[in-house]
Amino acid sequence: MFIFHKETTLEDLGNGVTRRILAHDGNMMAVEVNFEQGAIGPMHNHPHEQLTYVLSGEFEFTIGDEKHIVRAGDTLYKQPNVMHGCVCLTPGTLLDTFTPIREDFLHG
C-alpha cells in the first residue's frame, strides 16, 4: 500500500494543532500531528498502544507520572489506558503510530 502525502487531508483540530491520517489497516495506523508553539495536546488516555516519534520541534510530554522534554529524534511509548499529553515548546511535528487503528479518528 502506498499513501502519498499530497493525497491526504489535513484536519484542523483547533488551538494550533493539525492532524493528517496516513497509512492504516485493521492493526496499525500512522498519523502526523503538527503543533504551533504553545499548542497543547490535552491529557487523555485510550485503549490503543501508541508510539510517538518526534520529527521536529520540542515538546514537554507527560506520560503517567513522568514528565520530560523531547526533541527531534526522540521516541515515546504509551501503554494502553495510561494518561498522556504534551505542550509544544517550539513548533514541531509528531508521527504517531497506533495499534489497533483509531476508529474514532476515521469516523469523527
CB 88 within 8 Å of CB 100: no
Q: How confident is the model at residue 16 (pLDDT cuts 50, 70, 90)?
A: very high
pLDDT value for 83? 98
pLDDT value for 107? 87
pLDDT digit string (tens) for 59-107? 999 999 999 999 999 999 999 999 999 999 999 999 999 999 999 999 8
CA atoms 1, 13, 91, 46: torsion sign: negative
Say how far apart CA 100 and CA 69 lie, in whole Å: 27
Q: What is the pTM of this model?
A: 0.95
Q: Which of 37, 48, 34 is nearest to 79 (CA)?
A: 48
Q: Which cell is 23 given?
A: 497509512
pLDDT at 36 > cutoff 90: yes
H-run or E-run covering 66: strand 66-71
How much is the mean pLDDT over the chain?
Answer: 96
Percentage of the chain beyond pLDDT 70 is 99
DSSP state, residue 6: G
Would you call the peptide bond into 80 cis, given omega within 30 degrees of 0 as the criterion? no
pLDDT value for 26? 80
